Amino acid sequence: MQKLILRSLMCMVIIYGFATYLNTYFLKLDEYYSFYSQKFNDIEKQPLKTNLIIGSSHGCFGINPKNFDSKSFNFCFTGTNPTYYLNLLKLGILNPSKIDTLFYQVDWFMFDKKWMWREVHHDGESIQNKYLIKSLFCSQIHQSELIQNSLFNFANPSQNLKKQHSPDQFFNGYFKGFVQYNIPGNKEWEHRTKTQFNDTQISNFKIFIQQLKDNKITIILLSTPEFNMNHNIDKQKGLQIIQNVANSFKIPFINIHQSKKFQYPKNHFHDWGHLNLLGANKFSSEIKQYLFNQRTKKI
């Protein structure tokens, strides 16, 4: 009986070790996870008083620190919602002592939990071990899934091998968290999904802002350009919710949808909501100039 138990344990250790090796090997080939892992590694190296940009994929691929601000770092991710960033703040990955100004790139659909699906445990393969340990004491994080993803997220090995032979142009030009958005064949020009405004996400958005304000962090809410989306019936409702939150906390909300200056032509977009490299560089430069002009007026 003892031999059977011992053999079973040895078999489990071998399977565990082999699975961990495969996971590590395939993640090295996966450009998607390498890109996000690079972000998590780089934010740890950021100096004190960084101008940090957070938000969704619209910010991830639409605000280029090279054209925006020399002190800035782009820490936006696809599918993010306020709860995601609130949990990163609780874990210490977002460190208030390192932040000068926080630019929160906001979307009118940002409170839709199904559309904005990202949770911290999805990034188990990217988050450093010291934060994985901290997550064990954070009730809002799925600890088991976070640890599982850090060890056994195979991330479609066959697709990874395919990428090794034909790299995806999606990942060109990494710079301080920014990459060019360029997925061949992915050209949606409409937002067809009806937006659901989740009360928990709205509440966590307020909690997140309050905690940053308690740490004396300057916060600026910033929307990004979209192509031909003014007809969407949920857009004004979402923007009004964001404006109401901004008003209640007395923080600026730069709603570029109100300005013709930021109504770019179609060749500046990858799809209806994501700027391409041309659009990202133009927007980053113009919003930098806009912010400079606003500060100059105050002086």
| Residue extents of the structural domains in the chain | 49-120+134-141+168-298
Residue 101 DSSP SS3 = strand
pTM for this model (two decimals) = 0.84
* Strands 99-105 and 72-74, sheet pairing: unpaired
Report DSSP letters for 80-97, one per residue: --HHHHHHHHHHTSS-GG
Nearest to 283 by CA among 269, 271, 272, 298: 269
Q: How far is CA 239 from CA 105, 148, 230, in A?
A: 12, 37, 12
- Is 3.40.50.1110 the CATH classification of the domain at 49-120+134-141+168-298? yes
Note down pLDDT in tens along the chain; length 299 residues: 666 677 777 877 676 666 555 554 544 444 444 678 889 999 999 888 899 999 999 999 999 999 998 899 999 999 999 999 999 999 999 999 999 999 999 999 999 999 999 999 888 878 888 888 888 888 788 877 777 777 765 444 434 333 333 344 455 678 999 988 877 666 788 777 789 999 999 999 999 999 999 999 999 999 999 998 777 789 999 999 999 999 999 999 999 998 889 999 999 999 999 999 999 999 999 999 988 777 656 54
